[in-house]
Amino acid sequence: MYDLIVVAIIGAVGIYFFFFKSSASSAIQSPSNVVSIATTTTGPRSEKSFYLRMKNENRQVLILYGSQTGTAEELAGRLSKDLVRYGQKALVMDPEEIDPEEFERICLIHNPLLILCVATYGEGDPTDNAKQLYEHFENKEPDFKGLRYAVFGLGNKTYEHYNAVGKFFDQKLEEFGAKRVFELGLGDDDGNMEEDFMRWREAFLPALAQSFGWEYNKNAGLERQYRLKIIEEPNAKVFTGEYGRVGSFERQKPPFHQKNPYLSKISEQKELHASASERSCRHIEFNIEGSRIRYEAGDHLAVFPTNDSELVEKLGKLLNANLGTIFKLINTDEQSSKRYPFPCPCTFKTALTHYVDICAPVKSHVLKALIEYTTDEAQKKRLNLLSTASKEGLVSFFLLFFPI
Whether 67 and 207 map to the same domain: the answer is yes
Provide the mean pLDDT of the chain.
85
Torsion of CA 16, 18, 23, 24, to 10 degrees: 30
Tell me the CA distances in angstroms from 91 to 52, 56, 105, 325, 337, one per residue in order.
Answer: 11, 12, 15, 33, 10
Number of structural domains in the chain: 2
Last residue of a domain, one of 212, 237, 268: 212
pLDDT for 146 beyond 70:
yes
**How does pLDDT run across 320-370, given as a tens digit for each residue?**
999 999 999 998 877 666 788 899 999 999 999 999 989 888 888 788 888
Q: How many residues does the chain have?
A: 404
Q: Does residue 251 form part of some domain?
A: yes
User: Quick check: is 46 in a domain?
Assistant: no
Tell which of 321, 337, 355 closes a domain: 355
Asked if 198 and 249 sit in the same domain, the reply is no
Residues 81 and 204 grouped into a single domain: yes
Report field, pTM of the whole predicted structure over 0.85: no
Range of lowest pLDDT (37-41, 85-89, 93-97, 210-214): 37-41
**Residue 330: its pLDDT value, please?**
92
3-state secondary structure of 3: helix
Containing structural domain, residue 163: 60-212
DSSP assigned state of 244: S
pLDDT confidence of residue 391: 82
Please tell me the predicted confidence (pLDDT) of residue 332: 84
The reply to whether 188 and 230 lie within a common domain is no
CATH number at residue 135: 3.40.50.360
Same domain, 208 and 230: no
Domain co-membership, 180 together with 272 = no
Residues 303 and 331 in one domain: yes
Whole-number percent of the chain with pLDDT over 70? 86
| Final residue belonging to a domain, choices 188, 212, 236 | 212
In a shared domain, residues 298 and 174: no
Any domain includes 49 = no
Least confident of 98-102, 197-201, 286-290, 295-299: 295-299
73 and 172 share one domain: yes
* 192 & 84 share domain: yes
Element spanning 391, H or E: helix 391-401
Verify that 75 and 187 share a domain, yes or no: yes
What pLDDT, on the 0 to 100 scale, is given for residue 348?
A: 96
Q: 88 and 164, same structural domain?
A: yes
Each residue of 282-296: pLDDT tens digit? 999 999 888 888 877
